[in-house]
Structure 1
Amino acid sequence: SDLQNTDPAEVGVRLERINGICRKATAMKDGVALTVPLSKEIYAGIYKLNAKYDKCNWSGFSNVYVGIAKADYKIPYPCNPLNEPNRQNMLGYFGLTGNVGFNGKWTEGNRKFSDGQILTMELNMDAGTLHFFVDNEQQPVYVRGINDAVKFYGNLFYRESSFTVVVVKKLSIATVKKLPNEIAVEF
């Protein structure tokens, strides 16, 4: 699954290949919200994406979103995932606060994240859920009610900041555990 360029002029983002696959996006402009989806539309099975950010920190935490978008939604450029009309089609985990946002509603409870940390999203289309991990620690706020195809995405805001997909793989079984303090967000 390659990262996709959402900038038709191709001046806002530089995409780089790693082992022949387009897996790193670097912002070329400062202060322009840039969202870069993966090309794979996921409609069945269990998939895990590991990613990391670089040069995205502000006040010690990453000023970016990582999440999913409805597969049939054409992500514009520029794009802040949680502004209108994007927020009706995109769900994001915000590094600066740890909140998960969808459709104008924010849910607190996940850790803030920073540059260099491994962010994992485990999408289980059989159960209709998405779970987040920071450095392999499962976070309590998760998503349920995912019934239609989606795509993973990363978001950038600062010039020379980057989002790198470390791995995307299909899993045979889910790795998530039931947490006593878990909070569900409806998709």
Structure 2
Amino acid sequence: MASKSYLHAAGTKNYTPSEALTQNRMIPESDVWSIGVIIIEVICGIHPFEGKTQDETINNIKSGKYKALPDYIEGELRIMLEGMINMNASLRPTVAELLESDVMQLVAAIEQSKEGIEQKQVNEQLSKENNELKTKVKSLEVEKEKEKQKAQSEITRLTTEVQHLSAELVKRGPIITSPKEEPKPPQIPKQVPSSSPISFKAEGIIPDKQIVTQSGNKIIHSNNNVKRQTVAFNPIISEGIIRFEGFFENHSVWNFIFGVAYSSAVFGSNKWPQNDENYKKTICYWNDGNLRHIGDWITGNSQIEKNKSIAMEVNMNITPRTLTFFYDNQEQPVSVANIPSQIRFWIYITDTNSSFTITRFERIQSSSAKGVSGSKVFQWGKEWKK
């Protein structure tokens, strides 16, 4: 015993061994005694040295008097517990002996088994959660693919719709940006709208009646000269959708031309329609199909043959106002936008006995211009470039 360390007793008296109570000393075997008491109390539900009073309990501990263990505590466990609470400290098992006992080995195995079971349960739970997570990820991937397919389908639908709209725009004509509005000339009385076409009486403004004359709706060149003559027609056009239509006859040598002019343009005798600064105020459609205003000659419209119908249609109801040409009832691809707010139609003839007959000069309810493939739009008042 000389090799053992001795300490003064401390702790709860009910769990203090006899040597601590009688000799006020603690040794390693004292802890074995206390643990034995606690184990018995846990198994049996009662302190083995318990008396009716605290003092009686302490006296029982001092004298080593304890209640007999119940019969269900048997074998090595019974021997081990009785040895642990032995009054004689030297007869108590050491901690090492306790750990090497079959009982403690079994307890350790049970604990390890519990830990294994718990670990297995944890692993199973983790595996379950992992599988659930994989299922969710797969579900999200499926949803993502569905959304992707839905988006692709919507893109295809929108692309098709854009293509249809583009085709419709081609049919209706080019999109024209609104140019700067020119100063408005003096207003003229507006004509009353009608549900049916309104025909106009074409009154030719003839510079020299020795060169051309008007007979009804026909402008006729004299038979004794080939002088140039441009004839503009009243009334001045300032509103509505107006169509001017007719055909040329007996032109075998010289050019013939038609077009529109700003209402202030004045055409002189034996002059080209664009003379005297009128090139800024006129649009000329030549019989070879070229258009002329300011700048380059513009090709693209049809060449005009004698006795074939030509037509000009102005739309004064929209912004910008537009001029569209027709040949043999076919809309021509080159048109003009931003025409003046007041215009006149005009024709030019020069061959002897040549003529132009007006077949239609009227207000219509809706535009005939629908747009054609390869349409080009040139702006009035701007320099034209090929």
Q: TM-score range by the shorter chain?
A: 0.7 to 0.9
The reply to whether residue 12 of structure 1 matches residue 211 of structure 2 is yes
**Matched-pair contact (CA < 8 Å) for 2:211–2:225:** no
Deviation at 1:91, TM superposition (A): 0.9
Q: Which residue of 1 aligns with 2:242?
A: 47
State the TM-score, normalizing by the size of structure 2: 0.44
Q: Which runs of 5+ in 1 are unaligned?
A: 18-22
Deviation at 1:68, TM superposition (A): 0.3
Q: Which residue of 2 aligns with 1:185?
A: 378
Deviation at 1:84, TM superposition (A): 4.4
> Greater helix percent: which structure?
2
Q: Which residue of 2 aligns with 1:121?
A: 312
Alignment-mate amino acid for residue 232 of structure 2: P
Q: Which residue of 2 aligns with 1:165?
A: 358
Q: 2:252 aligns with which of 42, 47, 57?
A: 57
1:38 is paired with a residue whose SS is strand
Deviation at 1:78, TM superposition (A): 2.2
Q: Which residue of 2 aligns with 1:134?
A: 327
Alignment-mate amino acid for residue 283 of structure 2: L
Q: Which residue of 1 aligns with 2:203?
A: 3
CA distance in 1, matches of 2:213, 2:340: 32
1:107 is paired with a residue whose SS is coil
CA distance in 1, matches of 2:205, 2:237: 19
**Matched-pair contact (CA < 8 Å) for 1:81–1:91:** no
**Matched-pair contact (CA < 8 Å) for 1:119–1:134:** yes
Count of equivalent residues = 177
Q: Which moved more, 1:79-88 or 1:168-177?
A: 79-88
Kindly report the root-mean-square deviation, in angstroms, between the aligned alpha carbons of the 2 structures.
1.6
> Greater strand percent: which structure?
1
Alignment-mate amino acid for residue 107 of structure 1: I
**Matched-pair contact (CA < 8 Å) for 2:212–2:219:** yes
Structure 1 residues 165 and 146: CA distance shift in structure 2, 3 A: same
**Matched-pair contact (CA < 8 Å) for 1:67–1:92:** yes
Q: Which moved more, 1:139-148 or 1:73-82?
A: 73-82
Deviation at 1:180, TM superposition (A): 2.4
For 1:63-82, list aligned pairs within 5 A.
Answer: 63-82=255-274
Alignment-mate amino acid for residue 308 of structure 2: Q
State the TM-score, normalizing by the size of structure 1: 0.88
**Matched-pair contact (CA < 8 Å) for 1:82–1:103:** no
2:297 is paired with a residue whose SS is strand
CA distance in 1, matches of 2:251, 2:227: 13
CA distance in 1, matches of 2:239, 2:271: 27
Deviations 1:112-140 (A, max 9, x none): 01110000111111231111111101100
Kindly indicate whether structure 1 or structure 2 has the higher relative contact order, using CA contacts under 8 Å at least 6 residues apart: 1
CA distance in 1, matches of 2:334, 2:317: 19
